[in-house]
Amino acid sequence: MRIAVIGAGSMGGVFGGRLTAAGNDVWLVDVWQAHVDAMNRDGLRLEAPDGSRVIPVRATSDVAKVGVADLVIVFVKSYDTPAAARSALPLVGENTVLLTMQNGLGNRDAIAAVVGEERVVSGVSYVGAALAGPGHVRQTSSNVSLLGEMDAGPTPRVQRIAGLLEEAGFPVRLTDNLRGEIWGKLLVNCVGNASCALTGLTGLGLIQFPSGREWVRLVAEETAAVAQALGIRLPYPDATEKMFQNCEVAGPAKPSMLQDVEHGRWTEIDYINGAVVREGGRAGVPTPYNRALTLLVRMLESRQHGLEPDRPPL
């Protein structure tokens, strides 16, 4: 199967590298030229729980070199999704499927607006990853990824994609509650990402003290209330307990938003906590904690970058 990974940073690099090592015809597409050059010259250095290796890969910043792909996996930051979907058009043939397992809300809609709803498969992944440098990615956990169709049970195309990922070493579970799983991961990100980005703590650090545990509870319950008001069935019965468990499992790993802040990158705050604020407004549920996290991270970004870009309204 010919696979193109759009956004070969932390998650894209881990998935693209493992899919290549499993024998697939894979292209890694990224706009960071130094990263592309390092991968082509030296291979992709992958550190993972099951050992480190260097994987010979093909990387490019020009999608025209790839040709039509059977599967396009989109792993860019949410604010880059519309542009990434447009850039992927040369990869799209009659039977091409695009897969998003990105964080936040709105990615599927942004991709479908460009290529058509019928081409898009969605999922969520609890795999942990970090970009250590040009040509060097680190897989920090081997947790499950979930795939499904929107408003339907798993189809043959979802099963084929799941099989590819499993052959590459990723645990996969199929779901008939895709919206619930997306919101389940969104809740995890709402609680952990922004709080860690603002405090410098890891997920485990958040729950080491009573004040942190109370903050986790407040954000988790508020986000769960929005999901419930929207008629979304979360994949766990107790949002707070799920977050405590997730923080324990995450251990010392840094969540993606903390990594972004440390490296001076823009975050996905408007597509995570900001999205909950907008959805809460639509559902009539107050969201003061998610609003506070969104505004505080926006302030941090503005200080780092020296500007305040146009933002989705809260």
Q: What is the pLDDT of residue 153?
A: 83
Assign 7 to helix, strand or coil.
coil
Q: What is the pLDDT of residue 49?
A: 93
171-180 per-position pLDDT tens digit? 999 999 999 9
Domain boundary among the residues 174, 190, 224 is at 174
**Domain membership flag for residue 271:** yes
Domain boundary among the residues 115, 144, 174 is at 174
**Domain membership flag for residue 45:** yes
Find tokens 């609003």 and name the residue: 291
Note whether 227 and 163 are same-domain residues: no
285-304 per-position pLDDT tens digit? 999 999 999 999 999 999 99
Tell me the pTM. Answer: 0.94
Assign 261 to helix, strand or coil.
helix
231's CB contacts (< 8 A; 6+ apart) are none
**Domain membership flag for residue 311:** no
Q: What is the pLDDT of residue 268?
A: 97
Note whether 132 and 160 are same-domain residues: yes
Q: What is the pLDDT of residue 308?
A: 84
Note whether 268 and 145 are same-domain residues: no
Note whether 162 and 221 are same-domain residues: no
Q: What is the pLDDT of residue 154?
A: 87
Note whether 127 and 187 are same-domain residues: no
**Domain membership flag for residue 312:** no
Q: How far apart are CA 107 and CA 123, in angstroms?
A: 11
**Domain membership flag for residue 238:** yes
Note whether 9 and 120 are same-domain residues: yes
**Domain membership flag for residue 314:** no
Domain of 83 in residue numbering reads as 2-174
**Domain membership flag for residue 106:** yes
pLDDT < 50 regions, the chain: none
Note whether 151 and 225 are same-domain residues: no
To the nearest whole percent, how much of the chain has pLDDT over 90? Answer: 92
Q: What is the pLDDT of residue 309?
A: 81
Q: Can you point out the beta strands (E) in the chain? A: 2-6, 25-29, 44-47, 53-55, 58-60, 69-74, 92-100, 120-125, 128-133, 136-141, 145-148, 172-174
**What is the number of domains present in the chain?**
2
**Domain membership flag for residue 313:** no
Note whether 114 and 257 are same-domain residues: no
CATH of the domain at 49: 3.40.50.720
Q: How far apart are CA 158 and CA 154, in angstroms?
A: 6
Note whether 239 and 290 are same-domain residues: yes
Note whether 120 and 197 are same-domain residues: no
Q: What is the pLDDT of residue 296?
A: 97
Note whether 149 and 45 are same-domain residues: yes
Note whether 251 and 235 are same-domain residues: yes
